[in-house]
Chain A
Amino acid sequence: MTPRPYADPYLAGVGLGLVLLACFALSGQGLGASGAFASAASHVAGVVSKNAWVEGYLHGGSWMLVEVGGLIVGAGLSAWLAGRLAVSNAPSGRFAASLTGGILMGVGAALARGCTSGLALSGGALLGVGAWVFMIALFAAGFLAAPLLRRLWA
């Protein structure tokens, strides 16, 4: 099956906004992703070091873990139905870059207390100051770093 084209970005954006709105109304909080990683990492880090950060994510992380579990199921189902589910290796050089990028985003999201979905999008829609600071900083750094990494995406 040839992969179907992606949806119109504005339509998908409005759809994503409605999912976020439903999340506000039904759960009293926004969407999230990095919180699940923080929670999972806390269970491992907690064995070695008990501190306020670890304790904070050790308890009450189940909502986020279940939501991200759902995210993986929903994304997999959508990719499969659109003919886009295909196991592939990262192109050469990109695996190490993705791993490093993941580590940096893990540290960045931990410092900021959220990521693109939980802080920038969800907090931004609620007019949170920290959310807008984070969003502007992340896009500024992205545009500044891009010329240095041109070869990676040529």
Chain B
Amino acid sequence: MRDLLVAAAIGVAFGWTLERAGLGDPPKLAGQFYLRDFTVLKVMMSALVTAMLGAFWLDRLGVVDLGKVYVPETVLLPQLVGGLVFGFGFVLSGLCPGTSCVALASGRGEGAATVLGLLVGMLLMGLAFPSLEAFYGATPIGAMTLPRLTGLPYGVVVAGITVACVGLLAAIGRWEARR
């Protein structure tokens, strides 16, 4: 019960933040891929860096045990192909699964269409799974992380990604100012 209350509260905060950022607005999201609007990258990079640094430091301070937080499994080939297919769908729809729910909640027809499409896509997967099973499970490497893969200390990878993301955002800022 406590778990589901947390899920509901986190969900409300998640939806609120996405909507405030303007991420329920398909032309705005699609604008990222035409370099007209950088909201997607700005929100995503700053959220990723905030959560990554927060998790790292809370673990260091003993508040959160990072070892107990679920890291998604890595299955290289289906995740690479899945990402490519997903990216194409993202530009077609101007929304992703989370933001399609935001668009739906804001009353947008594109949101309803995308939500419907996502259900159909998942249904296709559920029905076609027996013939896709071999590919789905190809090249698994478990809950692999960048520090384990590279042998670099966790903090060094965190610092590297922080510098790369802040650098990218700074470059975007300069480029926007010049336009």
Contact A12 B20 (CB under 8 A): yes
- B42 to A: closest C-beta gap in Å: 4
Q: Nearest B residue to A48 by beta-carbon distance?
A: B127
User: In terms of DSSP, what is the predominant structure of the interface of chain A?
Assistant: helix
Size of interface on A: residues with Cβ below 8 Å to B: 123
Tell me which of B42, B116, B157 contacts A9 (CB under 8 A): B42
**A22-B10 contact given A13-B44, A13-B45, A141-B88, CB 8 Å threshold:** yes
A16-B14, A27-B3 known; 16 other A-B pairs, CB under 8 Å? A7-B22, A12-B22, A70-B10, A73-B105, A74-B13, A75-B102, A101-B92, A101-B93, A103-B124, A104-B92, A107-B122, A125-B51, A127-B154, A133-B80, A139-B87, A141-B88
How many Å lie between the Cα of A51 and that of B123 in the bound state?
A: 13
Contacts of A22 in B (CB 8 A): 10, 13
Contact A115 B93 (CB under 8 A): no
Interface size class of B (residues with CB under 8 A): 35 or more
Contact A9 B21 (CB under 8 A): yes
- 24 CB < 8 A contacts A-B: A15-B17, A16-B14, A16-B21, A31-B10, A46-B126, A53-B126, A72-B104, A75-B105, A94-B110, A98-B26, A102-B95, A102-B113, A102-B114, A113-B72, A115-B98, A116-B44, A125-B51, A125-B52, A128-B74, A128-B143, A138-B86, A140-B83, A140-B84, A141-B85
How many Å lie between the Cα of A16 and that of B157 in the bound state?
A: 22
Tell me which of B66, B70, B82 contacts A109 (CB under 8 A): B82
How many Å lie between the Cα of A24 and that of B31 in the bound state?
A: 31
Residues on B close to A: CB < 8 A? 3-4, 6-22, 24-27, 30-34, 38-39, 42-52, 54-55, 58, 63-64, 66, 68-76, 78-102, 104-110, 112-127, 129-130, 132-133, 135-136, 141, 143-147, 149, 154, 157-158, 161, 169
Contact A103 B15 (CB under 8 A): no
How many Å lie between the Cα of A9 and that of B47 in the bound state?
A: 10
How many Å lie between the Cα of A107 and that of B48 in the bound state?
A: 25
Tell me which of B38, B118, B157, B158 contacts A37 (CB under 8 A): B118
